[in-house]
Amino acid sequence: MLIRTKPALTESDVTDKSLYLNRRAFMRGAAQVSLAGLVGMSASPAQAARENDSVRAWRKELQPKLDSLRPWAGSTGEEQTPLQDVKRYNNFYEFGTDKGDPAEEAHQLTISPWTVRVDGEVGKPADYALEDLIQPHSLQERIYRLRCVEAWSMVIPWVGVPLADLIKRFEPTSKARYVRFETLVRPEEMPGQKALFSSVDWPYHEGLRMDEAMHPLTFMAVGLYGDILPNQNGAPFRLVVPWKYGFKSIKSIVRISFLEQQPTTTWSLIAPEEYGFYANVNPDVDHPRWSQKTERRLPGGLFGPKRIDTTPFNGYGEEVASLYAGMNPRSLF
């Protein structure tokens, strides 16, 4: 991505980092990796010590639902990215622009209580407590590929609810053609928001067309690997849109607005020629500064990055291509 306070990211930056991650993953060994999958985040005492009270309170609140997670038939059977890598290689500019900054800084974030404002073209606008939003739903586990525009990818077992199930409860009006999402602004807990020359105009915000938001694949995550979301992955409540580049999957959401007009989005305001509104994964449309034909699946193999071909719509074309019938795929970057 691009940010003016630092040199722009290049593909080689990402490669170096993934090689580094590979070595670390190898050192930790396969046994620990699969254990992480089994026990979710109830990991090391050091980690637990960094959790603040609000994290413990939210986990307690959600635990009964986490205990009765439902698997989802559409999950990919691909090898999952180890939890340690999902938690340590992040884009969350509110905590800094380096991939390691969120894991270092996000333990400060207070995630409970958490309120989500729902407004705009809906019959039931309100400030909803997150637990009330989630309460009527059972939680699903969905294993999706996540493809970042920077040409790396992961496979993540998310926990959450389909966005459509939430939207129906808000009773959108016939004027609701787009949905806009907004992330928390709290500079005292988000050091990236205090940066003097940040090119991001906070709050980070994103948008979907209404039919994209209502699509059965569009998911609101409250967890991953069987536990609540780590703060650095967008706790307590984030969007996951698996056929779009990762920057659409906005984290730590505090506001959902239903609109008649297409909203602006954070990255299209920063660099409109590089990051569009649609951001559908497409190997045939290169980023102006690098190819999108392949991706590095993290954490990679023993002897180098695991490079694989990128597929249209990140492999979800059968389900979603019809949403864009008649549109020029080149305009959907």
Count helices and strands in the chain by DSSP H and E runs: 11, 13
Shortest Å, Cβ 286 to ligand MTE: 17
Q: Which is nearer to ligand MTE, 121 or 297 (CB)?
A: 297
Min separation Cβ 181 and ligand MTE, Å = 9
Distance CA 256, CA 96 (A): 24
User: Closest CB to ligand MTE among 106 and 172?
Assistant: 106
Least distance (Å) between residue 251 CB and ligand MTE: 4
| Pick 139 or 146: Cβ nearer ligand MTE | 146
Quick note: the x/- pattern for ligand MTE over 43-72, rule CB under 6 A, is ------------------------------
Q: Are residues 132 and 181 in contact, defined by beta-carbon separation less than 8 angstroms?
A: no
Question: Residues touching ligand MTE: how many (CB under 6 A)?
Answer: 18
Which of 58, 93, 178, 237 is close enough to bind ligand MTE by CB under 6 A? 93
At 71, list the tokens: 């698997």
Determine if 90 is a binding residue for ligand MTE (CB under 6 A).
Answer: yes
Residues 277-316 that bind ligand MTE (CB under 6 A): none
> Mask of contacts with ligand MTE, 233-252, x by CB under 6 A?
xx-----------xx-xxxx
Interface region with ligand MTE, contact rule CB under 6 A, candidates 28-36, 84-92, 137-145, 269-277: 84-92
Among residue numbers 144 through 173, which ones bind ligand MTE (CB under 6 A)? 146, 148
Helix (H, G, I), strand (E, B), or coil: what is residue 294? strand
Q: How far is the CB of 145 from ligand MTE (least distance, A)?
A: 12
Q: Which strand (E) or helix (H) includes residue 158?
A: strand 152-162
Shortest distance in whole angstroms from residue 123 CB to ligand MTE: 28
Query: What is the amino acid identity at position 100?
Result: G
Distance CA 32, CA 107 (A): 23
Tracing tokens 């670390």 back to the chain, one arrives at 24
Other C-beta atoms closer than 10 Å to the C-beta of 199 total 17
Using CA atoms, how far residue 196 sits from 44, 105, 141, 199, in Å, is: 35, 18, 39, 9
Burial 103-119 (b: 16+ CB within 10 A, else e): bebbbebbbbebebebe
Both tokens of 162, joined, read 């389909």
Smallest distance from the beta carbon of 287 to ligand MTE, in angstroms? 12
Alpha-carbon gap, residue 263 to 156, rounded angstroms: 28
Q: Tell me if 2 sits within 8 A of 270, measured CB to CB.
A: yes
- Closest approach, Cβ 317 to ligand MTE, in A, equals 20
Question: Which residues 250-279 are close enough to bind ligand MTE by CB under 6 A?
Answer: 250-252
The site for ligand MTE (CB under 6 A) is made up of: 1, 90-94, 146, 148, 183, 204, 233-234, 246-247, 249-252
